[in-house]
Amino acid sequence: MPISESMVQEIVQEVMAKMQIAEAPAGKHGIFKDMNDAIEAAKKSEQIVRCMSMDQREKIISIIRRKIKENAEVLARMGVEETGMGNVGDKIIKHHLVADTTPGTEDITTTAWSGDRGLTLIEMGPFGVIGAITPSTNPSETVLCNTIGMLAGGNTVVFNPHPAAKKTTIYAINLVNEASLEGGGPDNVAVTVEDPTMESSNIMMKHKDIPLIVATGGPGVVTAVLSSGKRGIGAGAGNPPALVDETADVRKAAQDIVNGCTFDNNLPCIAEKEIVAVSSVVDELMHYMITENDCYLASKEEQDKLVSVVLQNGRLNRKCVGRDARTLLSMIGVDAPANIRCITFEGPKEHPLITTELMMPILGVVRAKDFDDAVEQAVWLEHGNRHSAHIHSKNVDHITKYAKAIDTAILVKNGPSYAALGFGGEGYATFTIASRTGEGLTSAQTFTKRRRCVMSDSLCIR
Ligand code: NAD
């Protein structure tokens, strides 16, 4: 049968398509088609990493840090383009935070007792190959931060990222493997699959070579990991309230809260999601939010329209998550001035835009009759996530009472929420805050096992 022009075209297209799929991983380190193959590769590299000196690990980590900085803008743009969420400027800052302040091997410390009966040490050793599930909201930030901490602890890592952020994740994973190779380490210190799915996630969670699973995401994934029968670290959802009492510097509180809320379009799980203020300061606070901090005051009708766009059948409309305030307003037909970066209104704590973790720059303000009422409403709004909360107050008794009542992994006092990540505050950065399982802000030592090494009756020279 003679081959027609169109048949030739069809064959060429078919071959090209196959070549593209086959070529996808070429030149990309740590990317596999099959989850079992990815785990096997991470297991092999783990045998090498386990025997590395701390100096060697640190050398690779320093190259990862350099590469993150060199690629911060590319990663930020890629994350925004692929997920449609957040903004490039803030994502660049987040990548620099990861590069500069994620703890490395210095975080792995030893506890010692010595005395008449000898010397006993607690050493922190690796788990092996860690399985990590990562969110769409901070995709490369989480992958890079997790890898630095896990590698510092002597582990390698298999990622099952959010499918909506796989391209950005693949770029980040390739980057850390290039750093490892450049530093004399093995390939595949971090791996993933080309097409992450629930199935690949299940394979990872059940695999005999994965002793620890670290889940960063919403309630569904944390529950799944904690039901896996393996040790799990669960970094789950939050809905952080910012409480403002009558002793606060109200003008500064307005600025800090709006800055924290609008950072990366409210994507960070620690970001202010609503305000609870005592009645005597509500009007002043909203005045400063609107006149000095670019907030748009939404009418009742506009709030209702926002509810119907942002929440559909009680679920978050993903097309609104991580969008800026002007885009959200344009979705309800409001052409807001160019400076607007946040939407505000006063409402009860049960208001759907207040009680739901929206991850959008919408800051509802709840009026409380006094401080005790404010604490009660804020605790209710945090929904028992035990994740993050913030307070603006000069009264230490108030701060202490709130801290005990809300019992969260993070409590920022008199600053924007991102101070908790070491941006405008002391301390290190992490993008995995283990709220559900209690480890808090994870770092290299979170990803290690404690081992007791005992020398009986010797080595004490006191
Ligand atoms: P998401 O829960 O939709 O997805 C997170 C990850 O879990 C993705 O990789 C997804 O594919 C996977 N996943 C979801 N359900 C699963 C299940 N049942 N079994 C296995 N895997 C599952 O979250 P998202 O929208 O990407 O991220 C936003 C959420 O994550 C928010 O709730 C936010 O507060 C939370 N978050 C928490 C932290 C933290 O450190 N605590 C950090 C970032 C984000």
Which residue's alpha carbon is nearest to atom 2 within ligand 1?
218
CA torsion sign, 160 to 162 to 165 to 167? positive
Q: Along the 462 residues of the chain, how does pLDDT read in single tens digits?
A: 445 555 544 543 444 344 333 333 446 999 999 999 999 999 999 999 999 999 999 999 999 999 999 999 999 999 999 999 999 999 999 999 999 999 999 999 999 999 999 999 999 999 999 999 999 999 999 999 999 999 999 999 999 999 999 999 999 999 999 999 999 999 999 999 999 999 999 999 999 999 999 999 999 999 999 999 999 999 999 999 999 999 999 999 999 999 999 999 999 999 999 999 999 999 999 999 999 999 999 999 999 999 999 999 889 999 999 999 999 999 999 999 999 999 999 999 999 999 999 999 999 999 999 999 999 999 999 999 999 999 999 999 999 999 999 999 999 999 999 999 999 999 999 999 999 999 999 999 999 999 999 999 999 998
Q: How far apart are the first and last CA of the chain?
A: 94
Which residue's alpha carbon is nearest to atom 33 within ligand 1?
237
**Residue among 85, 269, 319 to mutate when testing ligand 1 (max atoms within 8 A of CB):** 269
C-alpha dihedral, 355 to 361 to 364 to 370, nearest 10°: 90
Distance 307 CA to ligand 1 centre (A): 22
Which residue's alpha carbon is nearest to atom 30 within ligand 1?
217
pLDDT value at position 314?
A: 85
Distance 72 CA to ligand 1 centre (A): 23
Contact 444, 430 (CB under 8 A): no
Atom of ligand 1 nearest to the CA of 202: 20
**Residue among 201, 233, 265, 446 to mutate when testing ligand 1 (max atoms within 8 A of CB):** 201
Atom of ligand 1 nearest to the CA of 133: 9
Which residue's alpha carbon is nearest to atom 20 within ligand 1?
221
Distance 387 CA to ligand 1 centre (A): 14
> Among 138, 199, 206, which residue's Cα sits nearest to residue 172?
138
Distance 449 CA to ligand 1 centre (A): 25
Distance 223 CA to ligand 1 centre (A): 11
Contact 344, 295 (CB under 8 A): yes
**Residue among 221, 274, 357, 385 to mutate when testing ligand 1 (max atoms within 8 A of CB):** 221
DSSP 3: P
Q: What are the tokens at 71? A: 């690629």
Cα gap 204→197, rounded to integer Å: 11
Contact 167, 77 (CB under 8 A): no
Distance 162 CA to ligand 1 centre (A): 8
What is the DSSP secondary-structure string of 391-454?
EE-S-HHHHHHHHHHH--SEEEESS-GGGGGTSSSSS---S-EETTTS-EE--GGGGEEEEEEE
Distance 134 CA to ligand 1 centre (A): 7
Which residue's alpha carbon is nearest to atom 21 within ligand 1?
221
Atom of ligand 1 nearest to the CA of 433: 40
DSSP 2: P
Which residue's alpha carbon is nearest to atom 34 within ligand 1?
237
- Give the type of residue at 347: G
Q: Which residues line ligand 1 (CB under 6 A)?
A: 133-138, 161-162, 198, 201, 216-218, 220-221, 224, 235-238, 269, 357, 431-433, 435
Q: What is the pTM of this model?
A: 0.93
DSSP collapsed to 3 states, 95-123:
HHHHHHHCCCHHHCCCEEEEECCEEEEEE
Q: What are the tokens at 339? A: 């400076």
Which residue's alpha carbon is nearest to atom 22 within ligand 1?
221
Distance 135 CA to ligand 1 centre (A): 5
**Residue among 91, 133, 239 to mutate when testing ligand 1 (max atoms within 8 A of CB):** 133
Paired strand residues for 410: 388
Which residue's alpha carbon is nearest to atom 24 within ligand 1?
135
Q: What are the tokens at 100? A: 């500069």
- Non-local (6+) Cβ contacts of 286 within 8 A are 295, 297, 344, 346, 365
Cα gap 258→297, rounded to integer Å: 13
Distance 133 CA to ligand 1 centre (A): 8
What is the DSSP secondary-structure string of 332-391?
TT----TT--EEEEE--TT-HHHHS---SSEEEEEEESSHHHHHHHHHHHTTT---EEEE
pLDDT value at position 4?
A: 52
- Give the type of residue at 33: K
pLDDT value at position 23?
A: 34
DSSP 33: S
Paired strand residues for 243: 276, 391
